[in-house]
A and B are shown apart, each in its own frame.
Chain A
Amino acid sequence: MTEYNFAYLDEQTKRMIRRAILKGLAIPGYQVPFASREMPMPYGWGTGGVQVSAAVLTPSDTFKVIDQGADDTTNAVSIRTFFQRTAGVATTTATSDATVIQTRHRIPEEPLHEGQILVYQVPIPEPLRFLEPRESETRKMHSLEEYGLMHVKLYEDISRHGHIATSYAYPVKVEGRYVMDPSPIPKFDNAKLGDMAAIQLFGAGREQRIYALPPYTQVVSLDFEDHPFEASKADHLCGMCGANDSYLDELIIDDLGGRMFVCSDTDYCEARQAAGHKGKDAA
C-alpha cells in the first residue's frame, strides 16, 4: 500500500499555505502569493483549490465537491475520492451536511451556515489581467486603488451591448478596498458572495495566489448608477423541480432541438424533487 502524507501535501507546504490563508483572511480580497506545488492532477482541474482544501481539511470533516453545480462529474468525483483516501474525510453531496465544500464555478443555492468553508478553484485570480498583462503593474494598480480602467472597460460593454455583457467572473469590490475576481461563477452567484455565513477561500494553482473572504464581508459587484448590477439568470422555471430561484443550465434533449432548463445545482434540484416539487418536464 502506498503511504500518503495526510491530505497529500507535506507538513511544510501546508504550513506555508495556512499562513497565506490567515493573511488572506486579514486582508479580504487581497491576493496572497504562495509557492504552489505539483498535485497529481492537471492544471485546470483545480490544483489551487485542491491545495487550499488540503491545508484546511481535518479527518473530522465532511467534504463535498461540485463542478459547475454537479457532484457527479469526473472532476468532482476524482477530487472527492482523492481526499477520502488521503485525508480520511467523510464525503457527501448534501450541501447542508458538508463542512468543507470545494467548488468550481458555482456557489450552492442553499444558503451556507456558520462553520462551513467554501473553497473555490480559480483559473485567473487577477481581475485586472485583461487590462494589464504585467504582474508588477497590476500589483501597483491594486496598491494605489487604481481601478478606473476597470470601470471604463465595463462601461464600454454597456455602450456596445446596451448592458454589461460580462456574465462570468464578474468583478467585485471587497470592503470598499480591493477589486477581486470571484472566479468564473455566473454573475447570478455574485449576490451570495457578500454577508455569507461561511468562510470563502480562493486558490489559484498556476498563478500561485490565495485570497479570502471572511464571513459577513461586504462584497459589491462593480456597476454604474444608470446601469445597476443585475444577478441575471435564464427566465424559466426548472423543468425537473419547478424552482424559480435557482441558476439554470439549458439542455438539448432531442434531435429536434428540444430544450429544457434544469437547476445547475444538482443537490438542490434533487432535494426539491424528493420533497415533492415537480417541474413541467419531470416524468
Chain B
Amino acid sequence: MQANTLSGGFADPATQSAHAFRSVMEAMARPGTIQDIHGAAPPAPLSPAMGAVLLTLCDTETPVYLAGDMDCDAARAWLAFHTGAPFVGPAQCMFAVGKWDALTPLEVYPIGTSEYPDRSATLIVECSELASGATLTGPGIKETATLSLPELEAFQANRTLFPLGLDFIFTCGGRLAALPRSAEVSRSSSQARAQAGAS
C-alpha cells in the first residue's frame, strides 16, 4: 500500500464533509453556479474536487464506476481505503467518475425507473475548465444561467427522459458545478455566433 493511499482524506470528516456537501448541494440546486470545495487531496488522476465529492457521498452502499484513466491502482486504493465503495461497471453504478470522453456514451448508465426515478446514476466529470458556455434554464435558475459543457446533444437527450435521467457534477481542480436532469440546455447566442462564423 502506498503512503498516499492513507493520506488525503478529510482530517475532520464530520465538519469537512458537511461543508463539502453544502458546496455540492448549492451546485445541484443552482445549475450553472461554480462552487469551491475543500478538504481532499486524492492521488492523481482524481482531482481535489472529485476526491471531496466522493468522500462526502460514497461508502460501502454506493457502487462506483471508474472510467478510463481514472480506473488505476492509485485511485482504486485511495477510494477503497477512504470510502469502502465497491467498484462496478457502468450499468450497476450509482456514481461514475471520469473525463467526458471516457464516460460516454451515456446509454449504459441507470436512469431510474418510472416509480423510482431517483435510482439513477450521478456522473462526476473532470473538466479542463469551468466557465460560461451553454445557456441553461429550469428549476434552480432565475432566468437563465450559463455553463461550459463538454457537448450539448447528450444533455438535451437526457432532458427528454425526465423525470428519469442522469445527474452530473462537473469538477475542475478544486471547484465544481452541477447539471441536474431537470435542466434545459441550449446553445448560447455567443456560441451560435461563433459556430456561424466558423462555417
Contact = CB atoms under 8 A, between A and B. Distances in A.
A and B are interacting partners: yes
Interface of A: 5-7, 11-12, 14-16, 18-28, 30, 32-33, 55-60, 114, 139-140, 142-144, 175, 177-178, 199, 212-218
B182 A18 contact: no
B24 A19 contact: no
A60 B16 CA distance: 11
Given A12-B59, A216-B140, A27 B182 contact: yes
Contact of A26 (B30, B116, B141, B181): B181
B197 to A, nearest CB: 33
A143 B115 contact: yes
A271 B57 CA distance: 40
B56 A18 contact: yes
Given A12-B59, A26-B182, A58-B15, 5 more contacts: A18-B21, A25-B180, A27-B117, A27-B180, A27-B181
24 contacts: A5-B14, A6-B14, A12-B61, A14-B17, A15-B59, A18-B21, A18-B56, A18-B57, A19-B57, A20-B118, A21-B25, A22-B57, A23-B118, A25-B25, A26-B181, A30-B117, A58-B15, A140-B115, A175-B182, A213-B139, A214-B180, A215-B30, A216-B139, A216-B142
A22 B94 CA distance: 13
Interface of B: 13-15, 17-19, 21-22, 24-26, 28-30, 56-59, 61-62, 94, 114-118, 120, 122, 138-142, 162-163, 167, 180-182
Contacts, number: 115
A277 B177 CA distance: 44
B163 A27 contact: yes
Contacts of A28: 139, 182
Contacts of A215: 29-30, 140, 142
B118 A15 contact: no
Contacts of A32: 118
B118 A55 contact: no
A232 to B, nearest CB: 27
B140 A217 contact: yes
Given A12-B59, A214-B140, A216-B139, A25 B28 contact: yes
Contacts of A27: 117-118, 162-163, 180-182
Contact of B114 (A143, A214, A217): A143
Given A19-B62, A214-B139, A26 B57 contact: no
B18 A57 contact: yes
Contacts of A30: 117-118, 163
A198 to B, nearest CB: 9
A114 B26 CA distance: 10
A55 B21 contact: yes
Contacts of B141: 216
Contacts of B58: 15
B139 A22 contact: no
A16 B182 contact: no
A29 B150 CA distance: 29
A27 B180 CA distance: 8
A22 B24 contact: yes
